[in-house]
Amino acid sequence: MLAMFKTMFTLSTKLLTSWSETLFPRTCPLCGSLDESYICDPTTQQGCCAKCKQSIQVISKLACKQCGKPLPASLSPGPCGRCLRKPLPQHETISLFAYKGAVRDALLAWKLQGDSRALDWLLDVAKPVIADIFDKHDVLIPVPMPLARMRKSGLHHSADLSLKIAAMVGCKVNWQILRRSPEQQTQSFRQSALSGLARQRNLRKAFVLANDYTTKLEAIESNVKFWVIDDILTTGATLRHASLTLSRTKHAVFAFSFARAIRN
């Protein structure tokens, strides 16, 4: 009798699954297409279409540890020539994905339209890697944005990203220690809109520590790692300058970006 019930239950579950997939076919969580080549991991039930899957490039661990620049296996973990000539203030730089294809589309949908569904899906897929990078005792510090730009867009992307990661790892976010310098608070343009040289000049004095940072640090154990968090690493200058300012706290500083621009 029990065996018969079990068979009936399995059969009805299978029927319901096939009906629901006919009535509500799976759409790709990244591009929204009804692609027949939808690829699904049977264990996690996570999947996307073949076209998106093909366009996602995970950043290799074969890289210069300091700046995160991909390196051949024989030269990894570096330091690369540039870091040898001029060591960076951060101990490590880690990025999850190359800024292209479905990852670039996910970031643009989030930053320009406020739609974080694709980004959240990518973060969810990368959860085991994220759990491996961060520790629950670490403190995440979003790259501060000029107030004028924040007021204009109503969003603070590095802070939003930091909160999403902190919720996964169970660590803290701190946006009180690192600040944008007062003369930059009124800038409403994007760093990326500037030429290389102007960008470097602009970033040199972009960040400051809060006036009362020593008091704020009293609440944090001295051996806690600080992670500067940004959404996209383009030249690495933003993370470098933010890390340099933060290194004055004497905490070990690390840098993280969700995506990294890769030059072929």
**Interface with Zn ion (CB under 5 A):** 28, 30-31, 49, 52, 64, 66-67, 80, 83
Residue 199 corresponds to which tokens in the numbers above? 């960008």
Looking at the Cβ atoms of 50 and 224, the one nearer to Zn ion is 50
CA 133 and chain centroid, separation: 12
Rounded to a whole number of angstroms, the minimum distance from the CB of residue 141 to Zn ion is 21
Please measure the distance between the N-terminal and C-terminal CA atoms of the chain and give it in whole angstroms.
64
Looking at the Cβ atoms of 29 and 146, the one nearer to Zn ion is 29
Rounded to a whole number of angstroms, the minimum distance from the CB of residue 39 to Zn ion is 10
The number of beta carbons lying within 10 Å of the beta carbon of residue 18 is: 10
* Helices H / strands E in the chain, number of each: 11, 9
Strand pairing partners for 263?
none
Looking at the Cβ atoms of 26 and 156, the one nearer to Zn ion is 26
> Which residues, in sequence order, are CB contacts of 4 under 8 Å at separation 6+?
none
Looking at the Cβ atoms of 121 and 134, the one nearer to Zn ion is 121
Rounded to a whole number of angstroms, the minimum distance from the CB of residue 250 to Zn ion is 23
Looking at the Cβ atoms of 80 and 171, the one nearer to Zn ion is 80
Rounded to a whole number of angstroms, the minimum distance from the CB of residue 73 to Zn ion is 15
Q: Residues 101, 107, 111, 113: is their CA dihedral positive or negative? A: positive
33 DSSP 8-state letter: -
Strand residue runs (E) in the chain = 39-40, 47-48, 93-98, 139-142, 172-173, 178-180, 207-209, 226-233, 253-260
Rounded to a whole number of angstroms, the minimum distance from the CB of residue 31 to Zn ion is 3
Looking at the Cβ atoms of 103 and 166, the one nearer to Zn ion is 103
Rounded to a whole number of angstroms, the minimum distance from the CB of residue 52 to Zn ion is 3
Give CA–CA dist 115/100, Å, rounded.
18
